[in-house]
Amino acid sequence: MLAQSCASPSPRCSVASRISVSPAQSRSCRSAATAPVAESTTCPSRGEREGGAVLTLHITPLAAAFGAEVHGLDPTVAPDEEARGELRTAFDNFGVLILRDHVVDRRMQTYLTELVRGEEDLSDEKIATDAARQSSFYISNRIEDAAAPFGRLMWHSDGMWSDHPFEVISLYGEAVEPPVPPTRFASTTRAWNTLPSRLRARVEHASALQVPGPENFAHRRGSDEDGDLVQPVRDKDYSVTKPVASRHPRTGRTILFVSQQMTSHIDGVPSEESEELLNALFEHMYAADNVVEHEWREGDLVVWDNLACQHARPDVKLDSSVRTLRKVGWPLPPMADKQAVGSYRRIGASQ
């Protein structure tokens, strides 16, 4: 019997599941299996589904203070209700989930991205529509009109200058020729929880202005990183003022809502003092013990909480190894089309 197409899975394709979380001592960060990357996925036939296959998931914490790898998830089969709940819990607890060596199309990527946020409507029709709205979303140094095709990205959360930033983002390694620059993650939740009391007292009731950046912030780049910064070019300027100690809309946890690339200044504080205070917050949040670095391979899917984490990357060159990552963000901002980036320009070290 031919396998039934199930690029966007539905409950019809769900199977019984067992979930286990590996102990902290088990720090396996790599799946032994490898799989070719393809354009689409299929789910088991009806007979195979009715055979009662059991899916066993293992959530393995990374060696860092946050982030985990998910093993045993079959991305061609929709997880059952229990497994969906466990994946959502793992996502809220770890902030970054990594799946290695999987064949995942855009609809399945959209399904998993919306699932971990807690969306109730995961119907085939809705997922197909949501995926189609993002069909051009790529981070690539090869695809024409892809986002951030070159340069270095300083620390930020996508859209933190907006009233409606993405809550969840995922990237899938569609075409990768290692070695390529990694993606780095920093936990804003852990950064706030471990913030020294004297520093916390200075910012717990403060607000900061967020802008797209990194224009005017090149001085924050540091001396240990090479490459031009990437400046998105939009039709208009955007900004929003939000508390430095912001409340996560889904988990209710406090996050440290400032970033190297997008925070202009702290309100009501003289400019020099504001920059000194921001640098102290950056030094704390981007310390090595609060950073996870993901080395990309084809078939990698990384899903992260865009508010509980920030991300960055080293310099990407147009003529270097292929680095094409398919992007899905959720929920889409109401003004997503009007806020789209028209082009990108470079910001050198002297700017």
pLDDT band at 346 (very low <50, low <70, confident <90, very high): low
Average pLDDT value for residue range 53-82: 86
How confident is the model over 45-68, as a mean pLDDT?
Answer: 67
Confidence of residue 64 (pLDDT cuts 50, 70, 90): confident
Same domain, 327 and 228: yes
Q: In this structure, are 131 and 224 located in the same domain? A: no
Q: What is the pLDDT of residue 236?
A: 74
Last residue of a domain, one of 110, 135, 160: 135
* Residues 110-135: b if buried by 16+ CB within 10 A, e if exposed: bbbbbbbbebeebebeebeebbeebe
User: Do both 330 and 230 map to the same domain?
Assistant: yes
With contact defined as beta carbons under 8 Å apart, do 146 and 322 qualify? Answer: no
Residue after which a domain boundary falls, among 135, 156, 190: 135
Note whether 165 and 278 are same-domain residues.
yes
Give the total number of structural domains in the chain.
2
What are the pLDDT digits (tens) for 192-205?
Answer: 999 999 999 999 99
The answer on 176 and 124 residing in a single domain is no
What's the whole-number mean pLDDT along residues 302-328? Answer: 97
Residue 248 pLDDT greater than 60, yes or no: yes
Q: Does 212 share its domain with 333?
A: yes
Residue 163 shares a structural domain with residue 129 = no
Q: Is 93 helix (H, G, I), strand (E, B) or coil?
A: helix
- Specify whether 87 is located in the same domain as 163: no
What pLDDT does 222 receive? 67
Confidence at residue 330, expressed as pLDDT on a 0 to 100 scale: 96
Domain shared by 48 and 173, yes or no: no
Residue 28 pLDDT more than 90? no
Tokens 């996050």 belong to 255
Among candidates 235, 229, 291, which has minimal Cα distance to 262? 229
Of 238 and 218, more confident? 238
3-state secondary structure of 50: helix
Measured CA to CA, the distance from residue 349 to residue 346 in angstroms comes to 10
Mean of all residue pLDDT scores within the chain: 82
- Separation between Cα atoms, residue 242 and residue 86, nearest integer Å: 31
Count Cα atoms within 13 angstroms, Cβ side, for 47: 3
Query: Measuring CA to CA, which residue among 183, 260, 247 is closest to residue 214?
Result: 260
**Quick one: 83 and 214 in the same domain?**
no
- Burial (CB < 10 A; 0-12, 13-18, 19+), residue 105, is buried
pLDDT at 117 over 70: yes
- Beta bridge mates, 316: 151
CATH number of residue 346's parent domain: 3.60.130.10
Same domain, 234 and 280: yes
Q: pLDDT higher for 333 or 26? A: 333
Of 87, 105, 135, which closes a domain? 135
d(CA 94, CA 91): 5
Cα 307 from chain centroid (whole Å): 9
Q: Is pLDDT larger for residue 19 or for residue 150?
A: 150
Judgement on whether residues 303 and 188 belong to the same structural domain of the protein: yes
For residue 330, the enclosing domain spans 144-351
